[in-house]
Amino acid sequence: MMKTPLTLRPMFEYATTYFPDQQIVARQADGLTRRSYRDTGRRVRQLASALAALGVTAGDRVGTFLWNDAAHLEAYFAIPSLGAVLHTINLRLPADHLAYVINHAADRVLIVDRALWPVLAPLRASLSTVRAIILTGTGYVGEPDPPGTLDYDTLLAQGDPAFAWAELEEDQPLGLCYTSATTGYPKGVLYSHRGIYLHSLGLGLANTFGISADDTVLPIVPMFHANAWGLPFAAFWFGAKIVLPGPAPRPAVLLDLLRDEQVTVAIGVPTVWLALAQELERRPAPLALRAAICGGAAAPPALIRRYEKIFHIPFLHGYGMTETSPVATVARLKPSHRDLSEEAQLRVKASQGMPLPGLTVRLEREGRDVPWDGEAVGELCIQGPWIADAYEGDARTAETFRDGWLHTGDVATIDSEGYVRLVDRTKDVIKSGGEWISSVDLENALMAHPAVLEAAVVGIPHPRWGERPLAFVVVKEGMAVTKEELLAALGPQFARWQWPDDVIWVAEVPKTSVGKFLKRALREQYQDYFAPR
């Protein structure tokens, strides 16, 4: 067999050779831009040439501080083409974490949206490794660029459209993403060319997302978050039309893009799909979606039912982490599930699903394997060719990567057919009187109530029971529900001792930088709620 390196180069060349006229549509502050793969390929080579002229070489890190836009997609391919490392920086990190990840990554160049520059400007003097800052986008009218910065379009115009790719090895690093930690600074995960190649191939499988040239793909999840779940790489390779939602897209903007561009595949976290469902109810629209893909947090079964039964849009549930590149499992029905009742099928769809081909999973509890019976719980452990094996220059590696396995920190069950079902995060599971209570199951049940928009449940210290569940609920606009009604609705599914001890009404559940419920903030704010008065 030929020993052909599995790198980004053949993916890029396949796309631009066989799908030169396919479109990339990008929303900018001043409207939509449309470019072909052919034009995008030329711009990618020009950007790579311009970065090389700035002194970027193999192994150097180039940070991107960008929305899901055309420049970001160009950077996805141009930076690794030099053998350099694409560092996608989370726009929503606090200032001290931003400075940390840029310095820890040793970014040599930053590519920044002008409208986002005010976020980085106060940090500029503390960014010790940055040698050049490139600004793109329209920014603020009438404001000149800061001294010493470079203009993206000017650099591209000076670049070579026939720039030759570097010779790459498959084990070379391609990208770097930082994942938030429970405590301390974010942890860096380094991706190889081989890992991204194989992960992208996995996204094209029919049992996964089945991405092809027949699709129009909208990555709603940010491109700074685990490479938008790898979708930009896979969609480009397989020749799909790509729609990029641009700066701070609101639900109304997303719905317009879904409708006008006839998007067939879109990916987002549950909070995005919840907001889009509300927008769809206000403004019904003919959509071409064959898959509303949800990940980043467990999707409530009520949300899946809403899309499939009310909007008639297939809803696909997946699971992954920054450390898994990130897609690890997908919940699709097997042929044997077709004869199940609607409720039984919904339970399968609401699970995290089976691992992608090439990955292996197991459950561990107190150092022992847990049986796959759908009941016994343990920490989910994963291994495979696109699973990370360390954090970049971080002593916390030993906590997560042990004996050749990624220990995810997620408590789960696996049934006899291999379907993973998350019970909770190890840090979120509620231990009350020596028994475990799943915060995820309680949240899903609360969000099944027609008056509830969002619900988060956390364990709060209790003088008698160790911890007790406390629920935080957001009610839909124009609706009302009482605490007693909500708790009564839990009755058929939960023993009374598992019910939350109280319900607190909130305007919004606090969220992380990537849209997950920020339970840590709730625990900290209400840690004395059950303390003796």
pLDDT at 495 over 80: no
- Dump pLDDT digits (tens) for 397-448: 999 999 999 999 888 999 999 999 988 676 677 878 666 788 888 988 899 8
Active-site residue, from 309, 427, 431, 485 = 431
Q: What's phi and psi for 198, nearest 5 deg?
A: -70, -40
Q: What is the pLDDT of residue 183?
A: 67
Q: What is the pLDDT of residue 524?
A: 86
Task: DSSP letter for 88, please.
Answer: E
Tokens at 207, concatenated: 């049992």
* Contact criterion met (CB below 8 Å) for 372 and 418: yes
pLDDT at 10 over 70: yes
- Dump pLDDT digits (tens) for 353-387: 999 999 999 999 889 999 999 999 899 999 999 99
Q: What is the pLDDT of residue 354?
A: 97
Q: Could you say which of 3.30.300.30, 2.60.40.10, 3.40.50.1860, 3.40.50.720 is the CATH number of the domain covering 430-525? A: 3.30.300.30
- Give the pLDDT band of residue 466 (cuts 50, 70, 90): confident
Question: Which whole number is the average pLDDT over 165-193?
Answer: 91
- Cβ-based neighbours of 297, under 8 Å, separated by 6 or more: 269, 270, 271, 515, 516, 517
pLDDT at 94 over 90: no
* Contact criterion met (CB below 8 Å) for 242 and 215: no
Q: What is the pLDDT of residue 511?
A: 84
Q: What is the pLDDT of residue 207?
A: 94
- Give the pLDDT band of residue 182 (cuts 50, 70, 90): low
Please give the CATH topology (third level) of the domain spanning 8-191.
Rossmann fold (3.40.50)
CA distances to 30, 38, 215, 240, 381 from 24, in Å? 16, 10, 12, 9, 37
Q: What is the pLDDT of residue 411?
A: 87
- Give the pLDDT band of residue 516 (cuts 50, 70, 90): confident
349 tagged catalytic:
no
Q: What is the pLDDT of residue 71?
A: 98
Q: What is the pLDDT of residue 18?
A: 98
400 tagged catalytic:
no
372 tagged catalytic:
no
Q: Is 53 helix (H, G, I), strand (E, B) or coil?
A: helix
Considering the chain, what is the average pLDDT of its residues? 93
Active-site residue, from 13, 138, 427, 436 = 436
Question: Which whole number is the average pLDDT over 177-186?
Answer: 82
Which residue is it, tokens 């982490």? Answer: 321
pLDDT at 116 over 70: yes
| Top-confidence residue, 235 or 527 | 235
- Give the pLDDT band of residue 144 (cuts 50, 70, 90): confident
Of the ranges 148-157, 183-192, 299-308, 517-526, the best mean pLDDT one: 148-157
Taking the model in full, what pTM does it have? Answer: 0.85
pLDDT at 141 over 60: no
Omega prior to 326 cis, within 30 of 0: yes
What are the sequence ranges of the domains in the chain? 8-191, 430-525
Question: Which whole number is the average pLDDT over 85-101?
Answer: 93
Which residue is it, tokens 């959509």? Answer: 287
Of the ranges 135-149, 216-230, 444-458, the best mean pLDDT one: 216-230
Q: What is the pLDDT of residue 300?
A: 84
- Of the candidates 473, 478, 465, the one whose C-alpha atom is nearest the C-alpha of residue 505 is 473
Distance (Å, whole) CA 437 – CA 458: 10
Distance (Å, whole) CA 142 – CA 8: 39
- Cβ-based neighbours of 96, under 8 Å, separated by 6 or more: none
Q: What is the pLDDT of residue 184?
A: 80
Q: What percent of the chain has pLDDT over 90?
A: 78
271 tagged catalytic:
no
Which residue is it, tokens 């995290």? Answer: 352
| Top-confidence residue, 270 or 42 | 42
Active-site residue, from 16, 179, 216, 329 = 179
Active-site residue, from 74, 279, 323, 443 = 323
- Give the pLDDT band of residue 140 (cuts 50, 70, 90): low
Of the ranges 175-184, 324-333, 423-432, 445-454, the best mean pLDDT one: 324-333
